[in-house]
């Protein structure tokens, strides 16, 4: 099959070669902090999930005389753009837009090829700020990525499939989820089991595995290391992480236990879904709420497991009561699944895993800009933002910048004055309208005009 060709272009030192290496899965292109390392065009075969394409690394675009070395390098890059089926225009999200970026954006636009705007080095808050700024280039929604760390390669896949519909159709796979990159789609689901000491984490995992793989007992704090164990549930590959019980910092005197808790925190950061296991006989202790808050801050998908459910009387009444308690005490993860189970008998484990898979799917939700702005119009009409010093706050535009967890950017004027109650109104509206129960939702406020306002719609 004749694979489509995608050219990676941009000014020097924005990470084009790092992205090229990430896409081809090999260190074919030399990478260095100094600009101008790449001079010749370099081509390789790339694959994200089922989608295969050829990708071409190019020299950094710079203004120069045609006869100079830099000018000849630029000519090579322009030839690559002419040859390509689509263009990835890369900017450095940490540096923000420069005059060169704006100039070369015009070159990319004039090429008449589909352009995918890539905001590289977008890890962290500073990087996301630069990604938002890239909207100003007028090349459509930027895809924030970290080529070095492999973050949000799935966003590139989504953009590629939209830019190259014929190639996408030719390579269509009914079992492939276009929202997932190859790694996310094929790797095991990472599930961390966390909670207070003696909540029954190791007992639960032993029941899941069907063997006494982990040491258990009545003593609290038996597990010291964060243990990773492969498992399979209903044909899904799963990687389970048993973690040390998390206690209040003031009560942790033993140096080894401090290290164990830190290891558990790392397991949370690398998990897709975190099951916070509560003891159903003494649920929602202060430390339980602290652990849930930690999981929300880390942006992981969340499920609450009510362990030792077999020891509880009046189960139907108590379950309804505990779900109401969760809604009241955990508004930041409103709608989170609460699953009763017994790690000792295995009752409810299958139900827990169903909730885990649902939570992971919600965590990876992507919503189109058109749907988001249609929803925003309804929200503004139902309840307009308040006025500040006689001037009404104007909200113009919303888009999703990342998934895992869903992260949205809101554009408008005076958004710094927007009351917390109104942002909660919007977040709750997102959660309800787009069916995002329990997952952390990020909403960033960006002052500035809608970069697409006034642009002619394509016919």
Instruction: Indicate the annotated binding residues for GTP.
Output: 10-17, 57-61, 120-123, 195-202, 242-246, 307-310
How many helices (H) and strands (E) are present in the chain, helices listed first? 14, 17
Residues whose CB is less than 8 angstroms from the CB of residue 32 and which lie 6 or more positions away in sequence, other chains included:
none
CA quadruple 142, 417, 295, 369: dihedral positive or negative? negative
Q: Give Cα separations from 410 to 278, 298, 388, 447 (angstroms).
A: 36, 21, 18, 8
How far apart (Å, rounded) are the C-alpha atoms in residues 52 and 168?
A: 9
**Residues across the chain:** 459
For residue 94, give both structure tokens.
């940490």
Strand, helix or coil for residue 57: strand
Annotated binding site: 10-17, 57-61, 120-123, 195-202, 242-246, 307-310
- Tell me the C-alpha distance between 203 and 346, whole Å: 10
CA distance 347 to 426: 38
Residue 107 tokens, joined? 């070159």
Question: Do residues 156 and 143 make contact, with C-beta atoms less than 8 angstroms apart?
Answer: yes
End-to-end CA distance of the chain: 31
Going 392 to 397 to 402 to 403, the CA torsion angle's sign is positive
Residue burial 93-129, b: 16+ Cβ < 10 Å; e: rest: bbbbbeebbeebbebbeebebbbbbbbbbbbeeebbb
- Burial class (CB within 10 angstroms; exposed 0-12, middle 13-18, buried 19+) of 458: exposed
Three-class SS of 408-439 = EEEEEECHHHCCHHHHHHHHHHHHHHCCCCCC
Q: CA-to-CA distance for 18 and 29, rounded, in angstroms?
A: 8
Q: How far apart are CA 459 and CA 102, in angstroms?
A: 25
CB atoms within 10 A of CB 33: 6
Question: 3-class DSSP state for residue 256?
Answer: helix
* HSE-CB of 320 using CA atoms within 13 angstroms: 3
């Amino acid at each position: 099959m004749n694979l489509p060709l995608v050219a990676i272009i941009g000014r020097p030192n924005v990470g084009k070669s790092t992205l090229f290496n990430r896409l081809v899965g090999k260190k074919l292109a030399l990478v260095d902090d100094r600009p101008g390392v790449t001079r010749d065009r370099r081509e390789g075969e790339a694959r994200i999930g089922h989608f295969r394409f050829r990708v071409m690394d190019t020299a950094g675009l710079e203004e120069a005389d045609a006869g100079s070395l830099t000018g000849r390098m630029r000519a090579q890059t322009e030839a690559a753009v002419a040859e390509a089926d689509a263009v990835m225009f890369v900017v450095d999200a940490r540096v923000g837009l420069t005059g060169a970026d704006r100039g070369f954006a015009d070159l990319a636009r004039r090429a008449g090829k589909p352009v995918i705007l890539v905001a590289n080095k977008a890890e962290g808050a500073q990087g996301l700020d630069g990604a938002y700024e890239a909207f100003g280039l007028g090349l459509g929604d930027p895809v924030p990525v970290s080529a070095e760390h492999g973050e949000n390669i799935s966003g590139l896949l989504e953009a590629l499939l939209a830019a190259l519909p014929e190639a996408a159709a030719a390579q269509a796979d009914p079992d492939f989820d276009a929202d997932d990159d190859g790694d996310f789609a094929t790797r095991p689901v990472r599930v961390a089991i966390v909670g207070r000491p003696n909540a029954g984490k190791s007992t639960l995992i032993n029941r899941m595995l069907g063997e006494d793989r982990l040491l258990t007992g009545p003593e609290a704090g038996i597990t010291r290391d964060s243990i990773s164990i492969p498992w399979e549930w209903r044909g899904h590959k799963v990687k389970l992480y048993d973690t040390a019980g998390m206690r209040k910092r003031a009560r942790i005197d033993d140096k080894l236990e401090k290290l164990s808790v830190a290891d558990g925190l790392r397991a949370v950061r690398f998990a897709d879904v975190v099951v916070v296991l509560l003891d159903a006989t003494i649920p929602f202790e202060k430390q339980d709420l602290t652990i849930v808050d930690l999981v929300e801050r880390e942006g992981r998908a969340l499920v609450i497991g009510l362990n030792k459910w077999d020891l509880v009387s009046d189960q139907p009444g108590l379950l309804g009561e505990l779900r109401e308690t969760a809604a009241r005490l955990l508004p930041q993860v409103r709608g989170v699944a609460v699953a009763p189970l017994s790690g000792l008998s295995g009752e409810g484990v299958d139900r827990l895993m169903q909730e885990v898979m649902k939570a992971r799917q919600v965590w990876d939700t992507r919503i189109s800009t058109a749907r988001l702005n249609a929803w925003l119009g309804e929200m503004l009409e139902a309840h307009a933002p308040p006025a500040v010093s006689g001037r009404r706050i104007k909200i113009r535009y919303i888009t999703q910048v990342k998934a895992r967890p869903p992260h949205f950017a809101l554009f408008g004027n005076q958004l710094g004055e927007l009351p917390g109650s109104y942002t909660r109104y919007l977040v709750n509206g997102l959660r309800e309208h787009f069916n995002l129960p329990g997952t952390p939702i990020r909403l960033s406020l960006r002052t500035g005009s809608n970069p697409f306002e006034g642009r002619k719609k394509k016919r």
